[in-house]
């Protein structure tokens, strides 16, 4: 078989793709633009793509194409209806990043809750050296124990975050964006109640009609003083313009690993928030621990094996 990897760079240069060579000729491209896609896949039997879009027209112009492996869980970059009509199998990989996303959720939370940015600067600017005390507690910080943690989207990742939050002594409640995950393990709240009562709020929901701009100027005003808002779901769930304005007018904190446009636009108002210690932005890496990417590759290999066995 001829296998084409379209955006190997998104999997990391530290991850060897040699395991894919067992299936045939492997051609790997670091990145692939929209203009480059048709030529690169025209002779492919298997396409491996993370974010490169595969359209019906692409499939029609790739007569040997039998399998599209998505190196992710989300499948919105492939025309699934066209694939079905053309008898092309599409497979994704689910569950590979759960532990990585949970870990990143708590990394961001601890950074903000413990005022790490502030204290790091206190040391590096020599403010602590000149203070004359063995310690510096000029910026008060808190413990998770006794806090109320609100989760928006109680799917697989949300449930794991809930478990860890409880081990730290937090009280967990949640809001179901679909209205379907109404389980009894945790207290279900309306969105307004969750936002107004939670000390820490983490988002682990998909982007859809129900979640687009779910967090906006209307309900951001409900957030408690010193509360922390974390988005590890999808960009677009939190209105970024509204969040920037709220950060400039309220004493709240935000941690974002996903943004509406990625990479972030240089003119994004979140990059110009008055107090940079109030916001932490990471470049969509919550999913990407080495172990998670290894599991992702193993999932792709398994998907190809299962396809061949079928």
Active site residues: 234, 262, 284
Torsion of CA 148, 154, 156, 160, to 10 degrees: 10
CA angle 69, 49, 51 (to 5 degrees): 130
Inter-residue contact 28 to 6 (CB < 8 Å)? no
The encoded tokens of residue 290 equal 């080495």
Query: For 25-144, where are the alpha helices, taking DSSP H only?
Result: 37-41, 56-60, 80-85, 98-113, 116-124
- State both tokens at 24: 């045939």
Nearest-angstrom CA–CA distance, 78 and 248: 39
- Nearest CA to 103 out of 297, 287, 308 is that of 287
The DSSP output letter for 212 is T
Place of tokens 């870990």: 103
Nearest to 279 by CA among 294, 301, 257, 309: 257
Contacts with 114 (C-beta within 8 Å, 6 or more apart), sequence order: 141
């Amino acid at each position: 078989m001829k296998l084409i990897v379209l955006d190997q760079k998104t999997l990391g240069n530290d991850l060897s793709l040699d395991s894919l060579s067992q299936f045939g000729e492997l051609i790997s491209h670091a990145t692939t633009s929209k203009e480059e896609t048709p030529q690169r896949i025209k002779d492919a039997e298997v396409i491996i793509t993370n974010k490169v879009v595969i359209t019906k027209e692409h499939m029609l112009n790739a007569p040997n194409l039998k399998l599209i492996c998505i190196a992710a869980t989300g499948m919105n970059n492939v025309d699934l209806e066209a694939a079905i009509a053309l008898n092309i199998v599409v497979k994704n990989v689910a569950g590979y990043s759960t532990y990585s996303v949970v870990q990143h959720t708590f990394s961001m939370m601890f950074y903000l809750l413990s005022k790490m940015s502030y204290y790091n600067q206190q040391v590096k600017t020599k403010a602590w050296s000149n203070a004359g005390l063995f310690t510096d507690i000029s910026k008060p910080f808190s413990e998770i124990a006794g806090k109320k943690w609100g989760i928006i989207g109680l799917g697989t990742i949300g449930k794991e975050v809930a478990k860890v939050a409880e081990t730290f002594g937090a009280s967990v409640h949640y809001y179901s964006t679909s209205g379907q995950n109404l389980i009894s393990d945790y207290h279900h709240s309306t969105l307004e109640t969750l936002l107004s009562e939670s000390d820490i709020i983490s988002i682990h929901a998909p982007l859809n009609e129900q979640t687009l701009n779910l967090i906006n100027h209307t309900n951001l005003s409900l957030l408690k003083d010193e509360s922390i808002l974390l988005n590890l779901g999808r960009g677009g769930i939190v209105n970024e313009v509204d969040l920037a304005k709220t950060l400039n007018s309220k004493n709240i904190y935000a941690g974002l690993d996903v943004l509406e446009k990625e990479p972030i636009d240089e003119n994004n108002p979140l990059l110009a928030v008055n107090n940079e210690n109030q916001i932490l932005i990471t470049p969509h890496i919550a999913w990407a621990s080495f172990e998670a990417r290894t599991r992702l590759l193993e999932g792709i290999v398994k998907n190809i094996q299962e396809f061949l066995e079928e």
